[in-house]
Structure 1
Amino acid sequence: MKKTTLLFLTFSLLFFIKPEKNMAAEHLQARIDSMKPGAILRLEDKSYEGNIVIKKPLTLIGSKNTVIKGDGTGNVISVKATNVKLSHFTVTNSSMNRNSAEEYAAIKVYTNNNVIEHIKIRHSFHGIYLSKAHHNIVRYNEIMGFGKGEIAAQGNGIHVFYAKDNLITHNTIDGTRDGMFFDYANKNQSYDNHISNTRYGLHYMYSDGNIFKRNTFTMNTGGAAVMNSNNLELEDNQFIVNYGNQSFGLLLLQANDNQIKHNTFYMNQRGLYIDQATRNLIRDNKIIQNQIGIELWASSNDQVFTRNRITENTIPSVTIGGKGEGNAWSKNGKGNDWGNTFPLTDLNQDGIGDFPIVYHSSLHQLIEDQELTNLFLKSPAIHIYEKINASQSEDEVMFKDPYPLMSAKGNHSLFLFAALVVLTVLILVKGRQPLCTIFGRNGKKI
């Protein structure tokens, strides 16, 4: 009798010490199912069991230490109702199955007019996944992946699939496969997101009419890859230290009629990489201290470059695969500011050089034929190679700017100071982690 009483007291104490495990975290799914549409559920500072499905309009609000943890077999939270709001808690432990057609995520949204905000996401395949879901708001979330060593083993920070008219703003994404991936997703808007340590910070595939402004991409293998996507607005974004062999700040591949304006491309392996793209307007950008400022493949035509500041790059611009005729380096009598790269005179003081700039180079063939050339662009041997070919008259015209702008010297020091501040903060945050990872065309570290 005494033993029975002792066992009863022991189990009772365990029940009261850790009720979240004994009651399956208060049966969160049952609580949700019992709520009336439009109700508000305030979660406490403790862990709740995940793999929940929300099928009615409601609001879930957590607090500092609220965690919803999945069992590793599916989505942690599936939103299958409209007008759902999730805020202020941590979500973790979705399925990591890469072979499932379901594409598991910490939070997967299948419906419209929902709000996901102030959520922390850890240890999940995709972070937030919008699947055929429209008019949603995704803001102020923090999504952490496993880092560059495990990019292939995980999904994307925010994945938007066949979804339109969504607002994605003020999110921080670090260490996922791609930061934000848009797939057949039109007319979405993305503002003020910060993305680092991913494969591509931004990846567009077959997605048209999107707006992407004031976002920051740092220390990714590629800043933004825009593929088979048209009529985008990329404005006031920062592409800083996206570096490694075959890396870039911004890639335009089979991308047409896009507006690339007021962006900063600083210390990337390539600032802009343009291939099989037409009718893009590249205007009022800062393209500074990259290995190659602009790499333009001859398959790309009808680009317009105007009023850009293209300075202090190892190579200002190179055309690969042919002469690349049909691209314009000025518009309405305004060319580009090439800094001190090309000496100019301006006798009539109209802010435009008196003579066109014609840039010759022999490096296009070397870069095209030898993949590893990009690793040695700062070597003195490259400059010797250029001089030898120049003396033999074998170099070709890379571009001709008929109306080069006189250098604007006033804001350059301020820009460099701001960029150094950003880099310093990133170094302090990342500690002793290496800043750059180098990948070849096949994705292998080299």
Structure 2
Amino acid sequence: MVVLLLVVLPRHAYGNAGPYARRTEKGLTDMVLPRLFRTAGIMSLLAAALCAGAQARQIDVAVGESVQAAIEKAEPGDVVRLRAGRHEGAVVIDRAIELTGEPGAVLDGLGTGNAITVNAPNAIVRGLEVHGSGDNLPDLHSGIFVSRTATGARVENNRLIGNTYGIYLHGAADSIAIGNEVLGRRGVRMAETGSGVSVWNAPGAQVVGNTIRYGRDGIYTNASRKNIFRDNVMEDVRFAVHYMYTDDSAVIGNVSRNNSVGFAIMYTNRLKILNNVSEGDRDHGLLLNYANSSIITGNRVVGRMQPIERWLEAGLQKGEHGVPGEEKVEASAGETARLGPEKCVFIYNANKNKFSENSFENCSIGIHFTAGSEGNAMSGNSFINNRNQVKYVGTRNLDWSVDGRGNYWSDNPAFDLDGDGIADSPYRPNDLIDRVLWTVPQAKILINSPAVDTIRWAQTQFPALLPGGVVDSHPLMKPLLKPTAQLKESKHND
């Protein structure tokens, strides 16, 4: 049919003599050649449309029929749609098709390997409920496993429940996991389960708009580059985002809630960490360890009182990736709640980063700065109602202002007589007594003694007595971001 149209119609348009019969001394006439190209172009478009229509088809799979057999019957571009109900057996997608389902369609991997393995470039898995992966962590058993050959694959709007790993983008460049809900395994030790969405060596991969709860980490990425992690919500995991060796990437607009650590950024360079929120995490809102040359802007860490059981049940926190571990957690007599995160921000061996327009609120420590971190610029940040705004034990002098613009400190009793928005005197968040308390915690019993009051008074009168440490030469009079007492509660659909 298509061949006849291409051959017959152009000939009909120019009569029996054909399109090349009419010539002048200058060649083809001005009329014939444009008509030829126009007609040929229309016929080519029609042929392409007819071919596409002939190739694309939908294959419905009823409950009890083999999903794998339907996939093997499909051609590239086809849609394999599962009818509502429970479909048993793991499947492998080895061609560029779309595997989807009616509302209520469930794919159960029956506890062996990956429930769905995607090996084909540009394949799509959309709109399914997926559970029943195997439980072998070293073999990366996943609800949906996207392999290295599946470049550009798309995992969209699925619900993954109780799999060892939820979605694993394993070497699949330019793949995307978008709009999925991932509920990890419950009732097992953290060492026996994987992460919600994992990315390994998948340049250009994106993780966007997913909701992740339970399991080890919300999003885990390692040995990749040029990735985007945007608009994800992660709750009740260890690290909301666990970031390792993934350079030149962006972490934007994500929310971490009720996790041990919000955003753990490690061994990584040249990131954009923008407009993320950590609310009610336990240990750290933002942790930077060997994270360098990055831009950290517009993020918010908000602490609150949390049940003491969150610390007692966690037990001893072991050190990881060079970050010191926590001491044994013990509750004081009658202690039922504790302020968390312990640290809004923990900066450990992180260099040449730019912090601006961030808000750190209601933590035990606003920012803990240690282990030789150098060249970091701090300007325009707001430190609000933290019990200790800064913890820095080093002896070097660090000025946390840039080009005459510092940060806002809620405990700074400053004046601004000229009304320029900058306090008239520098602000020092720490003094000699703070250093003593950090190195000898038992000294806190003397905190209200006359001797301590005398030392602090002397330091204010004779600044030369002050040790090296953080000073803000141009503190701001107002926060740039309004403090947030409480964020919206999430709605769960377990």
- Is the TM value for this pair above 0.5? yes
Counterpart of 2:81 in structure 1: which amino acid? R
Tell me how far apart the structure 1 counterparts of residues 78 and 492 of structure 2 sit (CA, whole Å).
Answer: 40
Tell me how far apart the structure 2 counterparts of residues 42 and 185 of structure 1 sit (CA, whole Å).
Answer: 33
Structure-to-structure mapping, 1:120-135, within 5 angstroms: 120-135=159-174
**How far does residue 50 in structure 1 lie from its aligned partner after superposition?**
2.9
| RMSD of equivalent CA atoms | 2.5
Counterpart of 1:323 in structure 2: which amino acid? T
Does residue 262 (structure 1) correspond to residue 298 (structure 2)? The answer is yes
Tell me how far apart the structure 2 counterparts of residues 297 and 387 of structure 1 sit (CA, whole Å).
Answer: 31
**How far does residue 44 in structure 1 lie from its aligned partner after superposition?**
0.6
**How far does residue 64 in structure 1 lie from its aligned partner after superposition?**
2.0
Give the counterpart of 1:78 among 99, 117, 120.
117
Give the counterpart of 1:295 among 365, 368, 382.
368
Structure of higher CA gyration radius: 2
Q: Which residue of 1 aligns with 2:146?
A: 109
1:220-264 deviation per Cα after TM superposition (whole angstroms, max 9, x unaligned): 000011110111101010011111xxx100110011111110000
Which stretch shifts more, 46-55 or 202-211? 46-55
Does residue 279 (structure 1) correspond to residue 356 (structure 2)? The answer is no
Which stretch shifts more, 382-391 or 223-232? 382-391
Secondary structure class of the residue paired with 2:189: helix
Tell me how far apart the structure 1 counterparts of residues 184 and 226 of structure 2 sit (CA, whole Å).
Answer: 27
Give the counterpart of 2:157 among 87, 93, 118.
118
Does residue 315 (structure 1) correspond to residue 388 (structure 2)? The answer is yes
Q: Which residue of 2 aligns with 1:405?
A: 476
Secondary structure class of the residue paired with 2:65: helix
Tell me how far apart the structure 1 counterparts of residues 73 and 250 of structure 2 sit (CA, whole Å).
Answer: 40
**How far does residue 106 in structure 1 lie from its aligned partner after superposition?**
0.6
1:52-74 deviation per Cα after TM superposition (whole angstroms, max 9, x unaligned): 11110001121221111112120
Q: Which residue of 1 aligns with 2:270?
A: 231
Identity of aligned residues (%): 29
Tell me how far apart the structure 2 counterparts of residues 112 and 300 of structure 1 sit (CA, whole Å).
Answer: 38
**How far does residue 392 in structure 1 lie from its aligned partner after superposition?**
4.6
1:100-137 deviation per Cα after TM superposition (whole angstroms, max 9, x unaligned): 3x311110101211111110001111110011111112
**How many residues get paired?**
385
Give the counterpart of 1:352 among 419, 422, 425.
422
Secondary structure class of the residue paired with 1:91: strand
Q: Which residue of 1 aligns with 2:412?
A: 342
Cα pair 1:299 1:324 within 8 Å, conserved: no
Secondary structure class of the residue paired with 1:134: coil
| Structure 2 portions without partners, runs of 5+ | 1-61, 304-340, 457-464
Tell me how far apart the structure 2 counterparts of residues 191 and 253 of structure 1 sit (CA, whole Å).
Answer: 21
1:405-429 deviation per Cα after TM superposition (whole angstroms, max 9, x unaligned): 11249x63xx43xx5242xx24x75
1:139-158 deviation per Cα after TM superposition (whole angstroms, max 9, x unaligned): 11000013586322100000
Secondary structure class of the residue paired with 1:207: strand
Tell me how far apart the structure 1 counterparts of residues 439 and 291 of structure 2 sit (CA, whole Å).
Answer: 21
Secondary structure class of the residue paired with 1:420: coil
Counterpart of 1:250 in structure 2: which amino acid? L
Q: 1:130 to 1:314 in 2, by over 3 A?
A: same
TM-score by length of 1: 0.81
Cα pair 2:437 2:444 within 8 Å, conserved: no
Tell me how far apart the structure 2 counterparts of residues 145 and 382 of structure 1 sit (CA, whole Å).
Answer: 45
Q: 1:34 to 1:387 in 2, by over 3 A?
A: farther
Does residue 248 (structure 1) correspond to residue 284 (structure 2)? The answer is yes
Q: 1:382 to 1:54 in 2, by over 3 A?
A: farther
Q: 1:206 to 1:236 in 2, by over 3 A?
A: same
Q: Which residue of 2 aligns with 1:167?
A: 206
Tell me how far apart the structure 2 counterparts of residues 148 and 342 of structure 1 sit (CA, whole Å).
Answer: 47
Tell me how far apart the structure 1 counterparts of residues 449 and 178 of structure 2 sit (CA, whole Å).
Answer: 49
Counterpart of 1:420 in structure 2: which amino acid? Q
Does residue 177 (structure 1) correspond to residue 177 (structure 2)? The answer is no
**How far does residue 323 in structure 1 lie from its aligned partner after superposition?**
2.3
Tell me how far apart the structure 2 counterparts of residues 58 and 387 of structure 1 sit (CA, whole Å).
Answer: 77
Tell me how far apart the structure 1 counterparts of residues 381 and 193 of structure 2 sit (CA, whole Å).
Answer: 37
Secondary structure class of the residue paired with 1:357: coil
| Structure 1 portions without partners, runs of 5+ | 1-18, 374-379, 432-446
**How far does residue 167 in structure 1 lie from its aligned partner after superposition?**
1.9
Cα pair 1:363 1:386 within 8 Å, conserved: no
Q: Greater relative contact order (Cα 8 A, min sep 6): structure 1 or 2?
A: 1
TM-score by length of 2: 0.73
1:71-105 deviation per Cα after TM superposition (whole angstroms, max 9, x unaligned): 2120111100011111111110111113x3x3111
Tell me how far apart the structure 2 counterparts of residues 94 and 85 of structure 1 sit (CA, whole Å).
Answer: 19
Q: Which residue of 2 aligns with 1:384?
A: 447
Secondary structure class of the residue paired with 1:163: coil
Q: Which residue of 2 aligns with 1:26?
A: 65
Tell me how far apart the structure 1 counterparts of residues 199 and 191 of structure 2 sit (CA, whole Å).
Answer: 19
Secondary structure class of the residue paired with 1:229: strand
Secondary structure class of the residue paired with 1:152: helix
Counterpart of 2:96 in structure 1: which amino acid? P
Tell me how far apart the structure 1 counterparts of residues 445 and 158 of structure 2 sit (CA, whole Å).
Answer: 49
**How far does residue 301 in structure 1 lie from its aligned partner after superposition?**
1.0
